[in-house]
Chain A
Amino acid sequence: MNTAAQKNELIFGYSSGNLSEAKSLFVSMYLFLNSVAAKKASIFDNILADNLSNLDEVAPKKINYKDCINASSNQNLEFKISKNYNPLTNLIGSIDNLNWKLIYKGFREFNIPLKGSDSIKLIKMDPGTSVPLHSHNGKEYILVIDGSFCDEYGEYKKGDMQINDQKIKHHPTACDKNGCICLTITERDIVFFGKLGSALNLFTFIKSFFK
């Protein structure tokens, strides 16, 4: 399912600060690449911030403004945001220098080392490479970082996001001439169909013991 409400819920979750570390990074990248999503996040931030003006205030008892100044006395006062800021490469370095793990011909993965309930990875598909038809036991979030992929639902380009659940069966193929790099979160294992399906399902079953 690819409804706007699901995407809005994810961005609202980001604004509210209740996402897992993996999803938080995922949405950061989404806002970085997609200006419509960035605008939505800013609308949500402002709506949530407005609540601060309508709260029943509770004054702190033990702290005062002097404590706040003293607590920060050793800090540098000149902060700058780098022009080349990118939330993903900020964490893992340049995508060109990653130690990709080959899963099968034309398909590579890189696991991003973040703790918490969801796992997040980068997927790199060479031009024309496909993933066998599959669906998901939980939700799968895909964000195109570079290039594009096509499936039964259309073409997804840099900055586009797809959310899939158990109702969706899809068969993505890297359709850009340079292939496709995606950031993905899979909440639970995927279920494969077709000729190779049972072998791949067995593989994910065995893999689950080593998580």
Chain B
Amino acid sequence: MILLLYHYIVVLKFKINKIIMENERLIDLVTKISKNRDERAFSELFDFLAPKINAYYLKNNLSFEQSEELTQEVLSTIWTKTNLFDPERSKFITWAYTIARNKKIDLYRKTKNKTAEDEDIRHFLYQNNKINDYEIELSINKIKKELDENQQKLLKMSFFEQKSHKKIAEELEIPLGTVKSRIRSTLNKMQKYLS
């Protein structure tokens, strides 16, 4: 039992260290791009990020062609807008995710005179110190610990892969009503770590 616990702590520590190191490396690359327009740093960033963003779009049911097109737009935006990234307040992967998500919104957007990025309030919130990705880490770790594997999977399917409740019910072979109530109860369970 003690051995198992020790193993769990070592693995967790390794995972956290990996994430911290990864974030530091990414911030170093972005700083090089922002300050020196360093194309080599950008090429490294592209190799790291493009396959993830492309996979995200594919998971969201876009065709390979559409996914590649949007992936290019995301990376172009990162190349041009690195000066908006604040490493003190924002994690790189979170910043990149919001850009990718905004491009996906624009794909379906009917009001064309403004883009999702024009309306994205997050840059404003970061810049005015109203949100900070590093300050909420404790809450996120507690939420992850609180939710079991099935609950995390449901959140991922519903909000990351944007599968409809109906589709989730089909894939998990459970009734539609159960999907809805499980998502509700998962969101309720998270509540105590959210305020």
Is A65 in contact with B54, judged by CB distance below 8 angstroms?
Answer: no
From B51, B155, B185, give the contact of A57 (CB < 8 A). B51
Is B84 in contact with A81, judged by CB distance below 8 angstroms?
Answer: yes
Question: Is B94 positioned at the interface, with any CB of A under 8 Å from its CB?
Answer: yes
Task: Given A31-B121, A42-B125, A51-B160, verify A16-B101 contact (CB < 8 Å).
Answer: yes
Question: Would you give the 0/1 interface string for A179-191, flagging 1 where the beta carbon is closer than 8 Å to chain B?
Answer: 0000000000000
User: Which residues of B come within 8 Å of A, CB atoms?
Assistant: 19, 22, 39, 42-43, 45-47, 50-56, 58-59, 64, 67-68, 71-73, 75-81, 83-84, 91, 93-94, 96-98, 101-102, 104-105, 109-111, 114, 116, 118-125, 127, 130-133, 136, 139-140, 143-144, 155-156, 158-160, 162, 183-185, 187-188, 190-191, 193-195
From A52, A63, A113, give the contact of B97 (CB < 8 A). A52
List A residues 40-66 near B (Cβ within 8 Å).
Answer: 40-53, 55-65
The prevalent SS among residues of A at the interface is: helix
Is B184 in contact with A5, judged by CB distance below 8 angstroms?
Answer: yes
List A residues 54-94 near B (Cβ within 8 Å).
Answer: 55-65, 67-69, 71-72, 75-79, 81, 85, 87, 90-91
Q: Return A17 CB to nearest CB of chain B, in Å.
A: 4
From B54, B67, B76, B125, give the contact of A72 (CB < 8 A). B76
The prevalent SS among residues of B at the interface is: helix
Question: Would you give the 0/1 interface string for A86-127, flagging 1 where the beta carbon is closer than 8 Å to chain B?
Answer: 010011000000000000000000000111100000000000
